[in-house]
Amino acid sequence: MTKELEHKFISEFQKHQNIIHKVCRIYTNNQEAHNDLFQEITIQLWKAYPKFRGDSKLTTWMYRIGLNTAITLYRKSKRSIQTQDFDTVLHKIESTKYDDTEEEQLKLMYKAIHQLSDIDKALIFLYLEDKSYKEISDTIGISEVNARVKMNRIKTRLRTILNP
Amino acid sequence: MDELDLLKKDWKKQESSYPKLSYNEIYKIIHKKSSSIVKWIFVICIAEFLFWGFINLLIPESFFTIYEKLHVKAFLKISNILHYAVVVVFIYLFYKNYNSICVIDSTSLLMKKIIKTRKTVNYYVYYNIIMTVILSIIVNIIMFSDSTLLNEVMNPKHLEINETKFFYIMLIAQIVGLLIMIGLLWLYYKFVYGILLRKLNKNYKELETLEV
């Protein structure tokens, strides 16, 4: 039974693992921290999997556990050594495709996102994932109105960082 | 183009750049141990229950002969039984709260449940401190209400001691002892909260102020 469940979990998880990578992208900014958080979220997902009844979509459930782990359950491991920031690495690779100003702007954006609070990061992440305010408010546990207000504040903040 | 649209576009473009973990890699991960704060809180809470549960056993036997002479042994026995009844209630509440923690809840509900679980154990520790203080006050009152008996118990060699002086020495010694205990506890909590719960409390406060 466990083996069967394990196989089912791994196959399904493998299909949607990008969701978790994206959560890690928002909450960490180097490879080691990314892997560490990815591992903890995966463990939490697996631990919760026997309770998954399929009454909600598996992906919705992954967003929830992913964010809950990143915001609440995860403790940074002590062994993480500062490696080069993603923000610089990723954009160096693709730099030829961007014009300079766009690349600069994106770099600033990602840097600004990494400076946001954990809750704000969750909101901007769900916004980038095109989630509705209903889903955002359900995931975080705040009212829809407050989710809207907070989101507008974050957007304004990000914009002013780029256009001071 | 708006900066946020630009960001969204780039976000979507990055979709293909994330690593794809193989079946075996994922298999290895799910067999690793979690290091979540819920697990740590559980371990620390159990340690606290055990610590305060066993601290009674550390009281040397000679104390009980003193209590016997003071005729408070029966009183202490009854209070001990009551104490363990309260401990059982605390353990039940802790278990109930801990069990309700569910990673699929919304972020704010999850935080609320973790904080509630942790608070149960905090109340347990407060209860222990308050009980220690109340019990020592009662024992002191009984002791000092009968000076001949007190002298016999505390000064069996009949050394020449001024009674008032003796009273103050006892009082100061107990207050200093209590202050040291509270000081150590304060340090411990600052340490535990500093490491484990600072992030959680900060995030929870942020959500709370949002909902006011």
The reply to whether B86 touches chain A by the CB within 8 Å rule is: no
Domain ranges of chain A: 1-80
Confidence class of residue A84 from pLDDT cuts 50, 70 and 90? Answer: low
**Of A100-109, A133-142, A153-162, B45-54, which one has max mean pLDDT?**
A133-142
Is this model's pTM higher than 0.90 or not? no
Mean pLDDT, chain B, whole residue set? 83
Evaluate if residue A126 carries a pLDDT over 50.
yes
C-beta atoms of A119 and B207 within 8 A? yes
pLDDT of res. A131: 94
The reply to whether A78 touches chain B by the CB within 8 Å rule is: no
ipTM higher than the 0.90 cut: no
A1-31 pLDDT, tens per residue?
A: 688 899 999 999 999 999 999 999 999 988 8
The reply to whether A73 touches chain B by the CB within 8 Å rule is: yes
Phi, psi dihedrals of residue B204, rounded to the nearest 5°? -65, -40
A39-52 pLDDT, tens per residue?
A: 999 999 999 998 88
Domain ranges of chain B: 35-207
The reply to whether A43 touches chain B by the CB within 8 Å rule is: yes
Angstrom distance (rounded) from CA A135 to CA A141: 10
For residue B43, give both structure tokens. Answer: 């371990």
The reply to whether B193 touches chain A by the CB within 8 Å rule is: no
Ramachandran sector of residue A130 (left: φ over 0; alpha: ψ -120 to 50; beta: rest): left
Q: Which residues of chain A make contact with B202, given a CB cutoff of 8 A? A: 117
Confidence class of residue A88 from pLDDT cuts 50, 70 and 90? Answer: low
Locus of tokens 């079946």: B23
Give percent above pLDDT 90 in chain A.
Answer: 57
pLDDT of res. A99: 59
**Of A81-85, B3-7, B115-119, which one has max mean pLDDT?**
B115-119
pLDDT of res. A14: 93
C-beta atoms of B104 and A48 within 8 A? yes
> How distant is the Cα of B126 from the closest Cα of chain A, in angstroms?
26
> Would you tell me which residues 87-106 of chain B have a C-beta closer than 8 angstroms to some C-beta of chain A?
102-106
Say how far residue B163 (Cα) sits from the centre of its chain.
38
The reply to whether B114 touches chain A by the CB within 8 Å rule is: yes
C-beta atoms of A117 and B210 within 8 A? no
Inter-helix orientation angle A133-140/A118-128, to 10°: 150
> Would you tell me which residues 131-150 of chain A have a C-beta closer than 8 angstroms to some C-beta of chain B?
138-143, 146, 150
Evaluate if residue B97 carries a pLDDT over 50.
yes
Question: Who among A105, A118, A142 is closest to B211 (CB)?
Answer: A142
Section A55-64 average pLDDT: 88
Question: Who among A21, A150, A159 is closest to B18 (CB)?
Answer: A21
Confidence class of residue B1 from pLDDT cuts 50, 70 and 90? Answer: low
For residue B2, give both structure tokens. Answer: 């708006």
Higher pLDDT pick, B42 / B146: B42
> How distant is the Cα of A1 from the closest Cα of chain B, in angstroms?
16
Evaluate if residue A83 carries a pLDDT over 70.
no
Angstrom distance (rounded) from CA B24 to CA B30: 10
CATH entry, A1-80, from 1.10.1740.10, 3.10.150.10, 3.40.190.10, 3.40.50.2020? 1.10.1740.10
pLDDT of res. A85: 57
C-beta atoms of A117 and B111 within 8 A? no
Evaluate if residue A80 carries a pLDDT over 50.
no
Section B39-63 average pLDDT: 80
pLDDT of res. B68: 77
Evaluate if residue B133 carries a pLDDT over 60.
yes
